[in-house]
Chain A
C-alpha cells in the first residue's frame, strides 16, 4: 500500500471512532436536556450537545418520577446477570418480552435517551448525558445515581455540579434524597 493510500485508510478508520460516535453522543443528550432548553429558547442543538443537563433539571425529573427511578433500580439489580447497561434501543433478548416492554416504557417516562447501568455493589446509574468519542477514550457523564450504604462513593460531595466539567478527572456527587445523588464523572 502506498503512503498516500495508507494515509487515506487511517483517516477513514479514525473517522469511524471519532466522527460517527460523536454524532451519536450529540443526539443522546438531546431529550435529556429538553427541559433546560425549553427555558433557554435561544439554545441550539449544538449547545445542547455541548452542555450537561443542569442540576435543577435532574432534581426536577427525579422528584417528578421518583417511583419510576425506584422501580427501574429494582429491575436492574434483579437482571444484573443478564445485562448491565440498559437503554430503550439496547435491551437483551434474554429478558422476557414483558420485562423488555416495562424497561422501554419506564425509561421513556424518565427520558427516552437515558441509559441505565448496574454494578455488583448495587450502585445504579441513570445517565442523562455522555460526552466522548469512544468507549476506549476520555469521557464525561452526568446523571442520577443510587449508591447503597455499603458501596464506595468514588468521589467527594459537592453542593453544585453545574461546573463539574471544569474540575478535572474524578467523580463528584450532590445529595438528592436518601441514597440518591446527582453524579458527574470524568475520566481520561
Chain B
C-alpha cells in the first residue's frame, strides 16, 4: 500500500502520491478530504476549484510523527514556552511551511496544525481563534474545516498514516 512498502518512503515511481488516512482505535480507517480552494491548487492538481480531494502529504513527512512529538513535548512545557515553541514550529518559510513546496500542501498544513495543536494540549477553540486572527479575523471556511478535521482525528483517538493515490502527476 505504501510507496516502497513504507509510510515514510514516499517517492513512488508509479506516480502515486501519499495522502492522509486516520485509523481509529476500533480499527476503522477513513480518508479525510478537503476542497480545492484556489486556482493554484487546481492547476497543480489538474482539477477544478471546489473538487473534493484527499489531503496530500508532502515528501519525507510522516503525519503521526509530528503528533507524537507534540503529545510528548506539549504538556511538559509551561504556558509561555509551549505557545512560543508552537508558534515557531509553524513559522513562515520554516520546515513546516508546506505550502512553499506546493500550494496543494496548504490543506495538510492546516490539518496537521489542528492535529498537533490538540496533541500538545491546546483547546480546539483557541487553535481556530489563532487561525482566524492570522487571516484578519475570518479564516477561509475550507481552512477552518481542515483544522477541525485534524483536531477531530486526534480527539477521536486516531492514528495518522498515509495511503497512495494518483496525485498531481
Contacts and interface: CB of A to CB of B under 8 A. Distances in A.
A178 interface: no
Contact of A120 (B9, B90, B169): B169
Contacts of B46: 152
A85 B101 contact: yes
B83 A16 contact: yes
Categorize the interface residue count of chain B.
35 or more
Interface residues of A, number: 52
Nearest to A15: B87
Interface stretch (A52-60, A62-70, A131-139): A131-139
A153 interface: yes
Contacts of A16: 83-84, 86-88
Interface in A97-140: 115, 117-121, 123, 125, 127, 130-139
Interface in B14-48: 17, 37-41, 43-46
B10 interface: yes
B97 A130 contact: yes
Contacts of B95: 85, 87, 90
A136 B43 contact: no
Nearest to B56: A120
B87 A20 contact: yes
A118 B101 contact: yes
Interface string B44-81: 11100000000000111100000000000000000010
A154 B133 CA distance: 28
Contact of B39 (A25, A90, A139, A170): A170
B167 to A, nearest CB: 7
Contact of A187 (B12, B99, B113): B99
Contacts of B130: 13-14, 17
Among B8, B38, B92, B110, the most chain A Cβ lie within 10 Å of the Cβ of B92
Interface of B: 8-12, 17, 37-41, 43-46, 58-61, 80, 83-84, 86-88, 90-103, 106, 109-110, 113, 126, 129-131, 133-135, 140, 143, 147, 167-169
12 contacts: A13-B87, A16-B87, A24-B93, A82-B60, A85-B100, A90-B95, A119-B58, A120-B12, A131-B92, A134-B134, A138-B135, A139-B99
Closest 6 CB pairs of A and B: A16-B87, A137-B134, A135-B97, A130-B93, A84-B59, A132-B92
